[in-house]
């Protein structure tokens, strides 16, 4: 979560690094003066699991969710699009905040759950440079130093972050892949494929079930059945498909004799296929 006055690099550089056992004191409820102030003019980068949880909560299709509630800026220095929660252009409010608080509270994004904790992760962790947490202190937030003392672990458990971390693991692996350190750029078709597989899960489902996809890839039948209705299973599969098609990893198996057809189909969409 970033409210624009924060400089992420400076925060990560200057904030004391916290382990899971480190403690902080924090309190937030409807009685606090600053209630929902943190839901205004804020940059919330969404993960695929965030999108999936919120579109399920709203009972809408992922394409509709993305269209209505997100923006995907794509600057010239970016290799892949990010998906960001769209604030109201006039009031700068999050579309989900109201007088009672967050209307999607049970399914709020990872960044909203974590606040006021942040997390930084090096691209290539080493024994001395590992992921760490840090406390975000902003003038607008009056919750610091009051109420309960938390360990970082307790906060993570209380905010329901473990599910988000578990289902987000495959996406995180994709993000930290060494492929992104190369000069190589994705084609517009590959960028579109990445966006669909990561975020537009209902469109990806149609791509899997309404094209020749399953005639080309050898996928376990139980998994195919699960993917028909279970967004999380399908999203996990989508990450494997991206590794196969973007990074040329053998994360999926082609059916016997399907290589030629798969190569032609992928070439048509601007991709190549490993031998």
Residues that bind ligand SF4 (CB under 6 A): 28, 32, 34-39, 42, 44, 94, 96-97, 102, 104, 108-109, 112, 115, 140-143
In the complex, least distance from residue 114 CB atom to ligand SF4, rounded to whole angstroms: 11
- Smallest gap, in angstroms, from Cβ of residue 224 to ligand SF4? 33
Q: In terms of CB distance, is 86 or 172 closer to ligand SF4?
A: 86
Task: Quote the DSSP letter at residue 32.
Answer: S
Q: Which is nearer to ligand SF4, 59 or 126 (CB)?
A: 59
49-77 burial, b at 16+ Cβ within 10 Å, e below that, comes to bbbbbbbebbebebbebbeebbeeeeeee
CB of 133 to ligand SF4, least distance (A): 16
- Smallest distance, Å, CB 2 to ligand SF4? 11
| Helix residue spans in 15-145 (DSSP H) | 48-58, 62-69, 110-114
Proportion of the chain in helix, strand, coil states, percent, rounded to 5 = 45, 15, 40
Contact 119, 229 (CB under 8 A): no
Whichever of 154 and 259 has its CB closer to ligand SF4, that residue is: 154
Tell me how far apart the alpha carbons of residues 99 and 119 are, in angstroms, rounded to a whole number.
29
| Shortest distance, position 75 Cβ to ligand SF4, whole Å | 23
What is the rounded CA–CA span in Å between residue 117 and residue 220? 40
39 versus 52: smaller Cβ distance to ligand SF4: 39
- CA 175 centroid distance within chain: 10
* Smaller CB separation from ligand SF4, 35 or 207: 35
């Amino acid at each position: 979560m970033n409210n624009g006055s924060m400089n992420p690099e400076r925060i990560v550089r200057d904030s004391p690094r916290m382990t899971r056992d480190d403690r902080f004191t924090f309190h937030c409820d409807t009685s606090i003066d600053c209630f929902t102030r943190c839901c205004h003019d804020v940059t919330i980068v969404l993960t695929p699991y965030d999108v999936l949880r919120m579109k399920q909560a709203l009972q809408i299709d992922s394409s509709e969710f993305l269209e209505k509630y997100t923006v995907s800026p794509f600057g010239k220095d970016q290799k892949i699009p990010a998906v960001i929660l769209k604030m109201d252009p006039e009031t700068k409010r999050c579309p989900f905040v109201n007088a009672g608080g967050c209307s999607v509270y049970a399914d709020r994004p990872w960044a909203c759950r974590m606040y006021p904790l942040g997390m930084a992760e090096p691209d290539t962790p080493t024994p001395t440079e590992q992921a760490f947490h840090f406390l975000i202190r902003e003038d607008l937030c009056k919750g610091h130093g009051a109420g309960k003392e938390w360990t970082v672990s307790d906060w993570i458990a209380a905010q329901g972050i473990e599910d988000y971390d578990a289902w987000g693991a495959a996406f995180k692996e994709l993000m930290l892949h060494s492929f992104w350190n190369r000069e190589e750029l994705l084609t517009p078709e590959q960028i579109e494929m990445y966006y669909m597989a990561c975020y537009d899960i209902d469109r990806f489902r149609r791509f899997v079930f309404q094209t020749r996809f399953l005639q080309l890839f050898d996928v376990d039948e139980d998994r195919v059945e699960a993917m028909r209705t279970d967004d999380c299973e399908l999203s996990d599969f989508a990450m494997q498909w991206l590794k196969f098609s973007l990074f040329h990893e053998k994360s999926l198996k082609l059916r016997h004799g399907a290589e030629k057809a798969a190569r032609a189909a992928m070439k048509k969409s601007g991709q190549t296929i490993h031998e």
